[in-house]
């Protein structure tokens, strides 16, 4: 899909035309530079590669510096490919948030907040124990039995247990665009999106 790279700024709320208070995520979308144009003849498929947020040359390797020099730009912190653009773009072209004017819905991909090692109640929504009897006192948030002993004498793969939570690539589908502010490169979408403030996002039309 056609789209842009962006960064999560934070959350706010605005009033809709009906007078309802709508929670929104503020996203800085672009400007993104076209760092590579892929074609069917040369690469087997058509797409454009976009780069977002300049990176210092001393923190970049020679391959990154050379690759971006062809587009007349500095190395980028975040790079992604997009397809299905209606327009033909050339190396060095700059895409802005104006791309989303008139589009009411977008898909947004990001990396969710890392929660570290969590138990089954937080990680999988286990109920825990609310009505303990028989003197039970210290197993309120424990997972309980993991399986039988004599047979199969093992724990099945996929058993929901405690472990690391978050830090996953998450895609939110069909988020409504509430407002576009071109002069500040800002996009306001309804609801929340994955990741912390300052986290990079892929926004697709």
- 127 and 49 within one domain: no
- 125 and 110 within one domain: no
Q: Which domain holds residue 102?
A: 3-116+170-204
- 101 and 54 within one domain: yes
147-171: pLDDT as tens digits: 888 888 999 999 999 999 999 999 9
> CA 12 to CA 6: how far, in whole Å?
17
**67 three-state secondary structure:** helix
- 19 and 102 within one domain: yes
Find the CATH number of the domain harbouring 11. Answer: 2.40.30.10
| CA-based nearest residue to 97, from 179, 199, 200 | 179
- In this prediction, residue 196 has a pLDDT band, given cuts at 50, 70 and 90, of very high
| CA-based nearest residue to 21, from 12, 33, 32, 29 | 12
**183 three-state secondary structure:** helix
- 92 and 185 within one domain: yes
Predicted pLDDT at 106 = 93
> CA 65 to CA 169: how far, in whole Å?
28
- 177 and 84 within one domain: yes
> CA 53 to CA 35: how far, in whole Å?
12
- 96 and 36 within one domain: yes
- 73 and 146 within one domain: no
> CA 88 to CA 147: how far, in whole Å?
58
- 97 and 22 within one domain: yes
Q: Tell me what the mean pLDDT of segment 194-205 comes to.
A: 94
Residue 124 parent element (H or E): helix 120-124
- 199 and 102 within one domain: yes
Tokens of 194: 């994955």
- Would the pLDDT of 30 be above 90? no
Over pLDDT 90: what percentage of the chain? 63
- 13 and 83 within one domain: yes
Q: How many domains does the chain have?
A: 2
Predicted pLDDT at 2 = 86
Prior bond of 109 cis (ω within 30°) = no
């Amino acid at each position: 899909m056609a789209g842009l790279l962006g960064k999560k700024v934070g959350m706010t709320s605005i009033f809709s035309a009906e007078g309802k208070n709508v929670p929104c995520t503020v996203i800085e979308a672009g400007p993104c530079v076209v760092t590579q144009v892929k074609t069917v003849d040369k690469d087997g498929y058509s797409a454009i590669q976009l780069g977002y947020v300049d990176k210092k040359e001393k923190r970049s390797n020679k391959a990154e510096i050379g690759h971006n020099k062809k587009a007349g730009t500095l190395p980028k912190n975040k790079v992604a490919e997009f397809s299905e653009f209606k327009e033909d773009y050339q190396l060095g072209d700059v895409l802005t948030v104006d791309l989303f004017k008139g589009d009411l819905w977008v898909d947004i991909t990001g990396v969710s907040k890392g929660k570290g090692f969590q138990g089954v109640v937080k990680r999988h929504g286990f109920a825990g124990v609310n009505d303990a009897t028989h003197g039970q006192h210290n197993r309120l948030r424990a997972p309980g039995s993991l399986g039988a002993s004599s047979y199969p004498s093992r724990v099945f793969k996929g058993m929901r247990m405690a472990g690391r939570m978050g830090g996953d690539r998450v895609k939110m589908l069909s988020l409504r665009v509430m407002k576009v502010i071109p002069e500040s490169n800002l996009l306001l979408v309804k609801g929340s999106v994955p990741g912390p403030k300052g986290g990079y996002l892929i926004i697709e039309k």
